[in-house]
Every structure is written in structure tokens, then in C-alpha cells.
């Protein structure tokens, strides 16, 4: 399914000359000195295209630093004047939008805690009506693609066409190495739904820890995301927010230098014809896989009918265990990842059960109808 977003290319609102496109700056504007000094160091790296800073910070618990507020807009103006970098901030209310526009902020973004709430997003969208400013929408805290798309649609419906998404990972109950699970499939899905929408990756909030930033940033670029937003602070050890995930401007430059840039396509005809050939092989195998799955389902239907006729339950745990054991063993011998095999078999099995349940209940409903007729 495609969603209908009217989006202008990234290059219409931000300089895409430097690759990768990098938006960087502190998690929070803390003091005028901290912000301006960080901005200068970032500009000096020559790798940064826009400066970010949080002025109003949505905090999980009250009592934490909630952002310096409107005064920070003046500091941002100074940083912009002195470095020439366009500036980006998070907005979470209509009033934030008004203040940001009045202060000449160049780019706005909607934070993950706002994207979850359609009322908040609509309030921001209403404040943006008739305004021509780029807006980036972070994914919602929870892994819900519709919420993300809905927020993008609300902002787009307000007339904002300089639009991008930011992938910052998702909250998850299970603890992992990441602060926010990347769930790359979510970003890939968004790309499939809205192929022209630029997606910027935020490795800082995904990682939650500066050591993972390199890995996440590389993976994002390999998945053809259009840019990176990375938190950078002149002295992360004393940062008032997100201290563990911020990097100094020079560390940031090292991270960017160590990235490998790959292209989605190649002009080299030899490479592209080899790729074409391999893709054709994949296409053939995919067709075969689908054909075989359809054949398997036809047999499942026969089994369902047979079980029904003989009063046998749909599920026999022993049989399922045997399938799982045998298939994963075989798959492992063929060098397939056991986790992948198990997941795939579970999907096939649950579809088989769904099909058999359909057969049983259909038969049952028909039987009951028949019975009613004979008693009538």
C-alpha cells in the first residue's frame, strides 16, 4: 500500500552536497557558551550541514532538566549567525512553533513523545498552516507504523511539503544493547509505503551509548537512509541530558570519516548487469518458493478435511515438535540461521492452523445449519 504524501526532495530544503548529510548538535542547549562553542567546533569539522539543539525537552520524569526554554532561541540565532549553519529544534506545541518561526529557526522536528499523540501532532500542524518550513517527524516511542504515518500525513495536510522522517528507534520491554530498538523493518516499511519520503537516522537515540553510534550509522546508510542526526556536545561528560550518548565534535568527525558510503545504484554497466543476473535468479527462486507454499497449503486443506472427518484435533504438539526439530536441523546443515528458520516455520505453521480452523468451523457451521433444517 502506498501513502499519498506530497513531498519535495531533500535537496530543495537542505544542502545535500556533503555526504553523508549530517545534522549535529547538543541534545540540549544548556548555556550560551556551551551551544555557541559546540556549534563552532562542529562547523570547523566541515562535515555538518545543520545544527540541532533541544530548547524544550520532553522528559520522562518531572524534575529532570526540561530545557532552557525561549532564551535558547537567542543563543541559536547567535550560533547560526557566527557559523552560517541552519538551525533545527524540536517543537511540541503550537506556541513552540510560533516562537521558533519568530526566531528564524530553519528546520523543525516533532519528537517521539509527540508523534504518539494525534492531538499534539494536530496542534503543531495547525500552527504550521500557511508556513513554508521543513519539518522532520520522529518515529513514535512505540513501534506503531500507522502513528508515524498519521503524524506525517497531518503535517503534510497542513501544507508542509519539505518533509522528512527521523528513525530514532522504539521502546521495547526487553532490554538489549540499544536504548531504543532500531526495528529496521519499521523504517524499511515506511520507505515502501512512501518511497519519496526522505528518512534520516538518529543513531544517538537508538544507541543510548556513544560506542554503538558508528555501527548504527553505518547500517542506516547501508539501508539507504538519506542522512544522520547525531548528538554532539563540547564536553559530553558534563552534559545535562543524554550524557552517555553524546560525542565531542572531533569524535563525531572520526565517526563520519570511518563510514563507508555506498550507492543504491551504479553507473558501471558490468556491475549492474551482474547484479541484474543475480536478481533474476532470486526472482526465479522466489516464484518457486511461493508456488511450493501454495502447494503446501493445498495439502494442509486436505489434511484439515481428513482430520475433521475423523474427529482428530487440528494441533498435535508432537508432530509440530518433530517438524521443528527436523527442519531446523536440516536448515542448519545448509547454513541457514536457526532463528530465521524457526521464525519462518512458525509463520507457515500458524497459517496452516488458521486454514484448518477455517475448514473445521465452516464444516461445523454447515453441520449446524443442516441440523436446524432437519429439525425445522
The residues binding Mn ion (CB under 5 A) are 27, 242
Query: Does residue 96 touch ligand PEP according to CB under 6 A?
Result: no
The piece of 80-88, 108-116, 122-130, 347-355 that touches ligand PEP (CB under 6 A) is: 108-116
Q: How far is the CB of 241 from Mn ion (least distance, A)?
A: 6
Is the CB of 162 or the CB of 205 nearer to ligand PEP? 205
Q: How far is the CB of 324 from ligand PEP (least distance, A)?
A: 39
Residue 161-200 contact track with ligand PEP, rule CB under 6 A, x = bound: -------x--------------------------------
Length of the chain: 376
The site partner of 179 among Mn ion, ligand PEP, none (C-beta below 5 to 8 Å per kind) is: none
Q: How far is the CB of 131 from Mn ion (least distance, A)?
A: 25
Query: Does residue 111 touch ligand PEP according to CB under 6 A?
Result: yes
Residue in 80, 205, 233, 308 binding ligand PEP, rule: CB under 6 A: 205
What gap in Å lies between CA 374 and CA 76, rounded to an integer? 82
The site partner of 112 among Mn ion, ligand PEP, none (C-beta below 5 to 8 Å per kind) is: ligand PEP
Residue in 10, 14, 23, 27 binding ligand PEP, rule: CB under 6 A: 27
Is the CB of 158 or the CB of 165 nearer to Mn ion? 165
Number of Cα atoms under 13 Å in the Cβ half of residue 294: 6
What gap in Å lies between CA 224 and CA 262, rounded to an integer? 8
Give the binding site for ligand PEP (CB under 6 A): 27, 54, 90, 111-113, 138, 168, 205
Amino acid at each position: 500500500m502506498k501513502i499519498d504524501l506530497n513531498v519535495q526532495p531533500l535537496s530543495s530544503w537542505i544542502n545535500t552536497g556533503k555526504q553523508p548529510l549530517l545534522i549535529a548538535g547538543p541534545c540540549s542547549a544548556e548555556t550560551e557558551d556551551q551551544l555557541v562553542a559546540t556549534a563552532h567546533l562542529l562547523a570547523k569539522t566541515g562535515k555538518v550541514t545543520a545544527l540541532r539543539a533541544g530548547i524544550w525537552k520532553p522528559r520522562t520524569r518531572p524534575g529532570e532538566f526540561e530545557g532552557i526554554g525561549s532564551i535558547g532561541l537567542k543563543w541559536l540565532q547567535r550560533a547560526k549567525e557566527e557559523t552560517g549553519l541552519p538551525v533545527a529544534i524540536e517543537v511540541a506545541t503550537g506556541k513552540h512553533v510560533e516562537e521558533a518561526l519568530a526566531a528564524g529557526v530553519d528546520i523543525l522536528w516533532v519528537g517521539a513523545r509527540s508523534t504518539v499523540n494525534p492531538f499534539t501532532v494536530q496542534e503543531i500542524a495547525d500552527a504550521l498552516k500557511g508556513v513554508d518550513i521543513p519539518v522532520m517527524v520522529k518515529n513514535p516511542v512505540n513501534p506503531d507504523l500507522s502513528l508515524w504515518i498519521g503524524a506525517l500525513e497531518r503535517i503534510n495536510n497542513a501544507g508542509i511539503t519539505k518533509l522528512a522522517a527521523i528513525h530514532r528507534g522504539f521502546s521495547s520491554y526487553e532490554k538489549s544493547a540499544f536504548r531504543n530498538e532500531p526495528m529496521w523493518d519499521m523504517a524499511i516499511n515506511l520507505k515502501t509505503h512512501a518511497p519519496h519520503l526522505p528518512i534520516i537516522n538518529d543513531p544517538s537515540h537508538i544507541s543510548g551509548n556513544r560506542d554503538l553510534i558508528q555501527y548504527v550509522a553505518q547500517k542506516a546508510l547501508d539501508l539507504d537512509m538519506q542522512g544522520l542526526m547525531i548528538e554532539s556536545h563540547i564536553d559530553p561528560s558534563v552534559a545535562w541530558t543524554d550524557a552517555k550518548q553524546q560525542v565531542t565534535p572531533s569524535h563525531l568527525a572520526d565517526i563520519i570519516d570511518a563510514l563507508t558510503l555506498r550507492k543504491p545504484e551504479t553507473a558501471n554497466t558490468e556491475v549492474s548487469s551482474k547484479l541484474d543476473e543475480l536478481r533474476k535468479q532470486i526472482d526465479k527462486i522466489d516464484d518457486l518458493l511461493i508456488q511450493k507454499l501454495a502447494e503446501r497449503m493445498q495439502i494442509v486443506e486436505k489434511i484439515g478435511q481428513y482430520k475433521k472427518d475423523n474427529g482428530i484435533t487440528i494441533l498435535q504438539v508432537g508432530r509440530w515438535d518433530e517438524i521443528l526439530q527436523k527442519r531446523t536441523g536440516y536448515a542448519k546443515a545448509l547454513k541457514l540461521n536457526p532463528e530465521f528458520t524457526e521464525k519462518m516455520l512458525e509463520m507457515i505453521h500458524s497459517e496452516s492452523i488458521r486454514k484448518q480452523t477455517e475448514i473445521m468451523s465452516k464444516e461445523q457451521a454447515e453441520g449446524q445449519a443442516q441440523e436446524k433444517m432437519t429439525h425445522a
